Homo-oligomer: A and B are copies of this chain.
Amino acid sequence: MRVRRTVLPGGLRVLTEQVPATRSVSVSATVGDGSRDEHHGHFGSTHFLEHLLFKGTPSRSALDIASAFDEVGGDANAATGKEATTYYARVLGSDLPMATAVLLDMVTSAVIRPDDVELERGVILEELAMADDDPGDVADEAFATAVYGAHDLGRPIGGTPDTIRAVPREAIWEHYLGAYRSASLVVTAARAVDHDELCAMVTEAAVAGGWELDPSAAPAARRGGDSPPLEGGTGMTLTRPTEHSTLILGGRGLEAASANRFTLSVLNSVLGGGMSSRLFQEVREKRGLAYSVYSFASSHTDAGLFGLSAGCAPEQVATVAAVMAEQWDRMAQDGITERELLRAIGQLCGSLVLGLDDVGARASRLTRAELTFGELWSVEDSLESLRAVTAEEVRVLAGELLARPRSLVVVGPDESDLAADLLYGLS
């Protein structure tokens, strides 16, 4: 297994990891453009583009695109993030030329017809309504908004019904022309792939799509380090007519490439990373208060989130929030035991190795290395870094995170400003 990286003319990057004796391949085309890159008047256009690229090019109708993947049993889909938008497919190795040609055609040559924009506006509004009916989705988006405040990272990825209704076709088109360029495109593939053959396919498809590939062009620089300012903690109560309540307590975590990221992984594992974690044991096993309870860390180039999440009966929200806060406090004060440290390291190392068998994981690891980390951290280096984490480092980091402003999001039937009241009580 070997990772190869080539910068093609136009600054177009190709990264591959060939795995012997595999027959399927995951391939993705990603532009380093996400919801945080939208400007006023363009809000929602990133996610809109994710839909519109499937609607056709001069040489392929929407049905042609759909049929191309369907008729070989492939999966093709796309995802919009805060920092990138990715189009991906999983097919048999012999279908990689087709998949590469179709994905590149979509990226280079979307036509974005006005009629399609209006039709897809309705589909996206439906998608947002569906997400708004999911308390977990609502809580996740609200938590980012609570922690990042008015910063670009605080906006919901998919836009809001208002921005989707408002954004004109011309703004979407401008956003497309500005963001979908060879220098910001990263193509990755893993498993049954030959690097040189993929480079040739990508070049051919990009040229066929009308891109002029300047031989001297460099890839777009990685996103700069303008770390968003720390906002004060926010209590957000979103009243929804649900039977159970969802809550998230947390705040700013670490940026993706932080030297402390392995320590955070261990901390997260011990606090809420599995059935043996403190949150699972205290909230579910000992008290029977929740079905779902865990902690999480997510990260972007220059900032990250750290949170504790649970779903529980509405009348138990205060109790669960108090147990969460208590467990976080205890970790900051007393640290973790050697046994917990070893279990967490075992968990993280084991799941890292097991995860390599996951069919899409390798290709997305390459994309994230290129766009978010700025370098590829090998599995061996990651394992070594995890094994070097100490219990004292975990204690110190838990305290540092605790010292930052905390936010609390509650989604449930409560009509009062429950989150703000509880947050006040916890601080």
Contact = CB atoms under 8 A, between A and B. Distances in A.
Contacts of A312: 126
A171 interface: no
Contacts of A230: none
Nearest to A19: B21
B291 A130 contact: yes
Contacts of A207: none
A380 interface: no
Q: How many copies does the complex hold?
A: 2
A24 interface: yes
A354 to B, nearest CB: 5
Nearest to A343: B71
A281 interface: yes
A73 B347 contact: yes
A343 B62 contact: no
Contacts of A243: 129-130, 132-133
Given A73-B348, A275-B54, A311-B126, A353 B62 contact: no
A22 interface: yes
Nearest to A284: B123
B354 A129 contact: no
A21 B281 CA distance: 37
A91 interface: yes
Contacts of A65: 275
Interface of A: 20-24, 54, 62-63, 65-67, 69-76, 90-92, 95, 118-127, 129-130, 132-135, 241-244, 269, 273-277, 280-281, 284-292, 311-313, 342-343, 346-354, 357-359
A274 B72 contact: no
24 contacts: A24-B357, A62-B285, A66-B280, A67-B276, A69-B274, A70-B274, A70-B276, A70-B346, A71-B346, A72-B350, A73-B351, A73-B354, A74-B351, A74-B354, A92-B354, A123-B284, A123-B290, A126-B289, A126-B291, A126-B312, A129-B244, A133-B242, A133-B243, A357-B359
Nearest to A191: B357
Contacts of A291: 123-124, 126-127, 130
Contact of A70 (B135, B275, B289, B313): B275
B90 A354 contact: yes
* A24, A65, A75, A92 — most chain B CB neighbours (10 Å): A24
Contacts of A352: 73
A122 B293 CA distance: 14
A84 to B, nearest CB: 22
Contact of A275 (B69, B90, B124, B343): B69
B66 A276 contact: yes
A124 B244 CA distance: 12
A88 to B, nearest CB: 14
B130 A244 contact: yes
A129 B346 CA distance: 34
B241 A241 contact: yes
B66 A274 contact: yes
* A66, A127, A312, A348 — most chain B CB neighbours (10 Å): A66
Q: Please list the 8 inter-chain residue pairs (A to B) with the smallest Cβ-Cβ separation, ordered nearest first.
A: A73-B350, A66-B275, A73-B351, A66-B276, A241-B241, A119-B288, A122-B288, A127-B291
Contacts of A350: 71-74, 91-92, 95
Contacts of A343: 67, 70-71
A62 B346 CA distance: 19
